[in-house]
């Protein structure tokens, strides 16, 4: 690949990654448009329709063989089961937060996620942390304490989202390139399908299902849940293969920024002084982490130039 082609691929990767985070950023508005459908029903349809959407993609791209090859590898199957459980927790908590007026707290979870990723690297992968990373983690802990004490509420939605998605990323790292994006999402949705069916049965016998009961437009939006779920994941997979990690690292803040704007300015969720201070500390921690990452990403290049 020529330098021009490499640069074009990296630019394309950045566009793909930005598209993924941009779509994730406006995801709360899509799910809010599904009202009066509750979070348990939405997640159930999201799982089943993602499975159907991925099956269509596998058929169109003729890549069922890749899926069957993964199924013959017990280690990969176990990892996809773990990934499925983690993404289920993430989706369910995200929907509960979004549909109960906690969009801002959800955005906090994704702001904290990079800090959790660094911490998991130390605790699980035994990576060595630099001083700046320890400082960023310390500031983040202080931010959570400020929110708990000042705002008077434990941010369980934010912390659960950060922990589940951070661990999900760790599992994906363990799987590596052995499982492509479509096959991975297909298997994760497949393992969760029984859970989704049980949830639909429970909702049907209690509150009642809303699919096809509200309006034609509502039904169309609910049927698009699979495509809405899979599309940014596929964009992200395409971007991650092409764009440098530093670009991906900086772009990952697009989604929580848009979610924060959605909650604070569109949904008019309360932002008392204590919350602003807590968020300010988190943003400070992310600046410290980003500057440290950029400095260390440039060091090998400078060393080679010498």
pLDDT, tens digit, 9 for 90 and up, residues 214-269: 999 999 999 999 999 889 888 887 787 777 766 776 788 889 999 999 999 999 99
Average pLDDT over residues 206-213: 92
pLDDT-derived band at 72, boundaries 50, 70, 90:
very high
10 vs 41: which has the higher pLDDT: 41
**pLDDT score, position 117:** 79
Does pLDDT of 305 surpass 60? no
Confidence of residue 1 (pLDDT cuts 50, 70, 90): low
pTM attached to this predicted model: 0.86
Q: 141-191: per-residue pLDDT in tens?
A: 888 888 887 767 788 999 999 999 888 888 887 887 788 888 988 999 999
pLDDT-wise least confident of 29-43, 74-88, 95-109, 291-305: 291-305
Measured CA to CA, the distance from residue 115 to residue 245 in angstroms comes to 16
């Amino acid at each position: 690949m020529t330098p021009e082609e490499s640069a074009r691929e990296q630019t394309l990767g950045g566009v793909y990654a930005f598209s993924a985070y941009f779509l994730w950023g406006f995801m709360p508005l899509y799910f809010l448009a599904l009202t009066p459908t509750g979070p348990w029903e939405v997640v159930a349809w999201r799982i089943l329709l993602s499975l159907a959407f991925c099956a269509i993609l596998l058929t169109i791209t003729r890549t069922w063989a890749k899926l069957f090859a993964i199924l013959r590898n017990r280690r990969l199957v176990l990892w996809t089961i773990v990934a499925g459980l983690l993404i289920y927790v993430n989706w369910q908590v995200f929907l509960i937060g979004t549909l109960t007026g906690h969009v801002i707290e959800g955005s906090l979870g994704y702001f904290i996620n990079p800090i959790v990723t660094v911490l998991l690297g130390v605790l699980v992968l035994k990576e060595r942390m630099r001083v700046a990373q320890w400082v960023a983690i310390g500031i983040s802990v202080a931010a959570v304490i400020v929110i708990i004490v000042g705002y008077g509420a434990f941010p369980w939605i934010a912390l659960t989202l950060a922990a589940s998605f951070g661990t999900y990323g760790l599992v994906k790292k363990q799987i590596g390139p052995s499982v492509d994006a479509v096959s991975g999402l297909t298997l994760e949705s497949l393992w969760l399908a029984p859970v989704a069916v049980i949830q639909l049965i429970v909702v049907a016998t209690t509150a009642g299902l809303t699919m096809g009961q509200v309006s034609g437009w509502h039904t169309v939006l609910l049927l698009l849940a699979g495509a809405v779920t899979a599309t940014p994941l596929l964009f992200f997979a395409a971007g991650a293969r092409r764009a440098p990690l530093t670009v991906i690292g900086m772009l990952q803040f697009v989604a929580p920024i848009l979610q924060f704007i959605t909650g604070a300015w569109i949904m008019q969720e309360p932002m008392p002084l204590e919350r602003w201070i807590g968020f300010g500390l988190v943003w400070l921690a992310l600046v410290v982490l980003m500057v440290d990452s950029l400095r260390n990403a440039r060091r090998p290049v400078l060393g080679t130039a010498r």
